[in-house]
Structure 1
Amino acid sequence: MALRSSVVKVQLQLADLERHYYQDHSLTLAQHPSETAQRLMVRLLAFALNASEHLEFSSNLSDEGEPELSEKNLHGEILLWVAFGQPDEKWLRKACQRAQRVRLYAYGGRAVPIWLANHAKELKRFEQLEIFELPEDQLKALTELYQRSMRLQCTINEGQVWFTDGTQSVELSLVQHRLS
């Protein structure tokens, strides 16, 4: 018998001062049995950093042919494809062929610089690819906010991201990697 995904409910109050985007979002995230709380929180962070009226999570996490988080226009064209972790270069190539912009949120501690070094030559070709790394200590602090039902406030300003649940606060500063 297949294991079922868990449902995680998030009430996210977002204030992105850089993009002048202020919105409350009620999110229902499917957490696959193999997905860690850490990875789910990276997906939530990516949503906050890219939030828009048309940004949405995929309904099927196991479909490698589709983005887990994307923004599409009214014609169904992918404007933004968001990827996570340290994916295969072929998968990123496919994303770059299908989307106007691709953002990768890499995490995994000391493995990220090794992954980047091993794939830099191939990844330089993808002009629409942006790579952001979330430092391990900051991701650990963000993961401490994880619950099956969350009420979070997120503020983004001057390259800094703050999350709070009303009792704990976490400050994040992603590292953007330039491959040129």
Structure 2
Amino acid sequence: MALKSTIYKTTIHLSDMDRNYYDTLNLTIARHPSETLIRMGARILAYVLNADPALTFGKGVSDEDEPVLWQQTLTEDITLWVELGQPDEKRVKRASNKADKVIIYGYHSPFDVWWQQQEKKLTLFKNVQITRFDYQALAKFSELIDRTTEIQASIQDGQLWLTIGDKSLLIEHQTLQTSRT
């Protein structure tokens, strides 16, 4: 018998002063049995950093043809394709050809080795941005996620601050490669 996904409901009160975007996001997140809490936390953070009414979760773990997150126009043109971890060059190339912009969020120590190996190849893709989350901050955030979680998120001057209950966290993230489109 196959294991079923665990459903998480997250309400995020977002104030993104960098993009002048303010919203209350009610997310229903299906956590695949093979997905760690840290990866799911990275999905949530990627959503917060790119929040938009058209942004949706892809099938992710269960479908290799879809990204973790994506944003499409009404004509199904892909304006944003978001990946997590260490996608291979073939997947990045496919995403780069399909979407106006691609963002890859890395979040653990093997990512640094992956980046060193891939940097020269990935700089050829003008529409690809590479960003790394601080693993320790991501791990602390992931520990605070319950099946139902309410989050206050504030983005200003590139800094992402989260408050969950009485805990506040600065989620450091570093852009290693900027999209040039």
TM-score, normalisation: structure 1: 0.95
Which structure 2 residue ranges, 5 or more long, are not aligned?
Answer: none
More divergent stretch after superposition (114-123 vs 16-25): 114-123
Matching of residues 29-178 of structure 1 within 5 Å? 29-59=29-59, 61-109=61-109, 111-178=110-177
Equivalent pair of 1:159/1:173 in contact (CA under 8 Å): no
SS at match of 1:75: coil
Equivalent pair of 2:81/2:101 in contact (CA under 8 Å): yes
Shift of 1:142: 1.4
Equivalent pair of 2:79/2:99 in contact (CA under 8 Å): yes
Question: What letter is aligned with 1:108?
Answer: H
Alpha carbon RMSD of aligned pairs, Å? 1.4
Shift of 1:59: 4.3
Match of 1:25 in 2: 25
Deviations 1:58-92 (A, max 9, x none): 24641111112111011001000000011111111
Which structure 1 residue ranges, 5 or more long, are not aligned?
Answer: none
Deviations 1:3-31 (A, max 9, x none): 11110100111000000100001110010
Deviations 1:119-155 (A, max 9, x none): 1122111110000001221112211221111011100
Misfit runs of 4+, over 3 Å: none
Equivalent pair of 1:104/1:129 in contact (CA under 8 Å): yes
Identity %: 37
